Amino acid sequence: MSYAERLQRITTERGRLCVGIDPMPSVLDAWGLPHDVSGLEACARGIVEQIGQEVAVFKPQSAFFEAFGSRGVAVLERVLEDISAAGALSILDVKRGDIGSSMAGYAAAFLGDDAPIRADAITLSPYLGVGSLQPAIDAAVAGGQGLYVLARTSNPDGATIQLADAGGHTVAQHVVDTITELNTVSDHAVGLVVGGTHADSGCNLEAFNASILVPGIGAQGGTIEGLTPIFGDAMRHVLPTASRGVIGHGVDKVAPLARQLVSEVASRLV
């Protein structure tokens, strides 16, 4: 089964919400946990333990695990296993981007049955050229996994590059159009990252043909009700993502906040 098919199945069952697993210092503080590997593990795995049977997709942010070196990466591997055991999908936020054999090396780390840090999908940066991502695209398709390529990110600084002119259209639009074409021969395995924090995304997504990961819901100011004006006809592809808005208020608030958002997504995203 392809990634697109698995995503469709799980979101039909559980709704279209992705919860970010971002065990940053402020989140550990809110949970009353120490800033060490034990706190990292208790928080990250605790999130999945609480809502792993209810949420469709989780997005662990690799940076917060890598910050603890090999021990943190070992925790990340266990978190990914927990997500899989709960029947949910994982999108590992690593934002890798390189060329040739280096890109193939990153692909081998995360994609394929033998990958040591295997996730259902990973995020990639296209700013060495979309074509440089081909080794990862090939590996994802072969492994039934997915990719999410940065197009229009939720941070304000992204506009300088992403909205720059690329010959009559923005750089973001170039990424969108190129990925749309690639998906016709790539099992619709390649999605986009488009933030939910901008009144105008700066790109036309009407013809896009795969999943759109939408970070920025909650703590960054994005809202579920604000997505339709941004995405229009592409709403059927949108996978809203909330991180601190769900996990950043303490361990006792995770489940009720997640359920509230799942319900809101179900009522507003059609």
pLDDT of residue 14: 96
Q: Which two tokens stand for residue 47?
A: 């999130």
Q: What pairs with residue 18 in β-bridges? A: 57, 241
DSSP state of 114: T
Q: DSSP labels for 148-161?
A: EEEEE-SSGGGHHH
Structure-token pair, residue 126: 């296209």
Are 244 and 22 spatial neighbours (Cβ–Cβ below 8 Å)? yes
The reported pLDDT for the residue numbered 226 is: 83
- State the pLDDT at residue 198: 83
pLDDT over 70 (residue 135):
yes
Query: Among 52-61, 79-88, 224-233, 253-262, which is the least confidently predicted range?
Result: 224-233
138, two tokens: 């090939």
Please say if 59 is a catalytic residue.
no
Token pair belonging to 196: 């939910």
pLDDT of residue 219: 67
Task: Record the tokens describing residue 214, joined without a space.
Answer: 């939408």
pLDDT of residue 218 exceeding 80: no
Catalytic, out of 6, 71, 95, 268: 95
Degrees to nearest 5, angle at CA 140 with 13 and 63:
85
Q: How far apart are CA 95 and CA 82, in angstroms?
A: 22
- What's the rounded Cα separation, in Å, for the pair 65 and 78? 11
Query: Among all chains, which residue has been given the structure tokens 């390649």?
Result: 190
Q: 3-state class of 101 per DSSP? A: helix
* pLDDT of 98 above 90: yes
Round the CA-based radius of gyration of the chain to a whole number and report it.
17
Using CB atoms within 10 Å of the CB of residue 184, give its burial: 0 to 12 exposed, 13 to 18 middle, 19+ buried: exposed
Q: What is the reported pLDDT for 270?
A: 63
Looking at the DSSP assignment, which residues form a beta bridge with residue 122? 92, 147
- Mean pLDDT, the chain, rounded, equals 94
Q: What is the pLDDT of residue 196?
A: 86
Give residue 101's region: left, alpha or beta (phi > 0; psi -120 to 50): alpha
Q: Give the CA-trace dihedral at 190, 195, 199, 202, to 10 degrees.
A: -40
pLDDT digits (tens, 9 = 90+) for 51-77: 999 999 999 999 999 999 999 999 999
Rounded Cα–Cα distance for residues 182 and 35 (Å): 42
- DSSP letters, 72-95, are HHHHHHHHHHHHHHTT-EEEEEEE
What local confidence, expressed as pLDDT, does residue 224 receive?
A: 86
| Residue 225 pLDDT | 84
